[in-house]
Amino acid sequence: MATKNPTPRSGPVTGGDIGRRVAALDWPGIVSELDARGCAVIGSLLTPDECQAIVDLYPADEKFRSRVVMAKHGYGRGEYKYFAYPLPALVEALRKSLYPALAEVANRWNEAMKIDVRFPNDHAEFIERCHKAGQVRPTPLVLKYGPDDFNCLHQDLYGEHVFPLQVAILLKEPGSDFAGGEFVLTEQRPRMQSRAEVVPLGRGDAAIFPVRHRPVRGTRGTYRVNVRHGVSRVRSGSRYTAGIIFHDAK
């Protein structure tokens, strides 16, 4: 399941190296995991220093457009903040460089699910489509969980335009920084009960998963499986994640 990035580098958190790092990933392996299971893990996409640099941004309110206290909305327990534009260089580089390979998957999936929408291979072009439709607010975010915090199963839909895949990067080390707090996906097939998958992540690992649904081939053709994601209860310590969502919000 995990595709290891062989050369994670440490160094300044500029985002300058991310494009090359993403290009060097085993994309055929990632794509075949996405097609077969709906989820793929990129091992060590970010270095520990890069993870910490994102965690360190969290208190800097000027970098964010809003803060959400999850319990207030019934979303779970814990909090998150959406970045403001311009995004930090590292986050912008991740959003831009991860997009093109995922757009190819998204286009194939939409074709399989008989959904007419197709995605350009350049993220800036897709964002222009969002902005023209009034989806102008950036969606990349940082989530922060403490003891007993959790994230209810949900889908990150923010308007008419939806890019079908998203990425979550774990920024803390399970086992030492926190316990519990597993990343969970559930899949609901038509007329069947839901099935859960726990996705094991280490610090710096990135999970790629469907925003809303994915195609699964059955005996009577391809059908849509409804997917939701969330986080189980953090048993102790502090857990942070960075979420890269490719569509913007109304």
Ligand X SMILES: O=C(O)CCC(=O)C(=O)O
List residues near ligand X by CB under 6 A: 143, 151, 156, 168, 183, 229, 231, 241, 243
Q: Compute the least distance from the CB of residue 24 to Fe ion, in Å.
A: 27
Site string for Fe ion, 104-143 (x = CB under 5 A): ----------------------------------------
The residue among 23, 93, 20, 24 whose CA lies nearest residue 53 is 93
Out of 17, 50, 156, 182, the only residue in the binding site for Fe ion (CB under 5 A) is 156
Q: For residues 116 and 30, give the distance between their C-alpha atoms in angstroms, rounded to a whole number.
A: 24
The CA distance from 61 to 56, in Å, is 11
Instruction: Tell me which of Fe ion, ligand X, none is bound by residue 47, counting a contact when its beta carbon lies within the kind-specific cut-off of 5 to 8 angstroms.
Output: none
What is the nearest approach in angstroms of ligand X to the Cβ of residue 143?
A: 4
Asked whether the beta carbons of 248 and 138 are under 8 A apart, the reply is: yes
Question: Smaller CB distance to ligand X: residue 5 or 166?
Answer: 166
Segment interacting with Fe ion, rule: CB under 5 A, options 42-50, 123-131, 151-159, 233-241: 151-159
The smaller minimum CB distance to ligand X, of residues 23 and 196, is found at 196
Among 27-35, 89-97, 154-162, 207-215, which window interacts with Fe ion (CB under 5 A)? 154-162
42 binds, among Fe ion, ligand X, none (CB under 5 to 8 A by kind): none
Dig out the tokens for 114 from the structure. Answer: 């008989």
123-132 helix and 89-112 helix, angle to the nearest 10 degrees: 80
Query: Of the two residues 105 and 245, which places its CB atom closer to ligand X in the complex?
Result: 245
Tokens of 179: 């316990």
Whole-angstrom Cα distance, residue 92 to residue 106?
Answer: 20
Residue 241 interacts, among Fe ion, ligand X, none and using kind-specific CB cut-offs from 5 to 8 Å, with: ligand X
| Residue type at 94 in one-letter notation | L
Distance CA 50, CA 14 (A): 9
- The span from the CA of 223 to the CA of 245, in Å, is 24
Residue nearest ligand X (C-beta atom): 243
- The site partner of 95 among Fe ion, ligand X, none (C-beta below 5 to 8 Å per kind) is none
Q: How far apart are CA 170 and CA 207, in angstroms?
A: 8
Report whether 37 contacts 217 (CB < 8 A). no
- The CB density around residue 86, as the number of other CB atoms within 10 Å, is 10
Q: Smallest distance, Å, CB 168 to Fe ion?
A: 7
> Which residue lies nearer to ligand X by CB, 119 or 178?
178
Give the footprint of Fe ion on this chain (CB under 5 A): 156
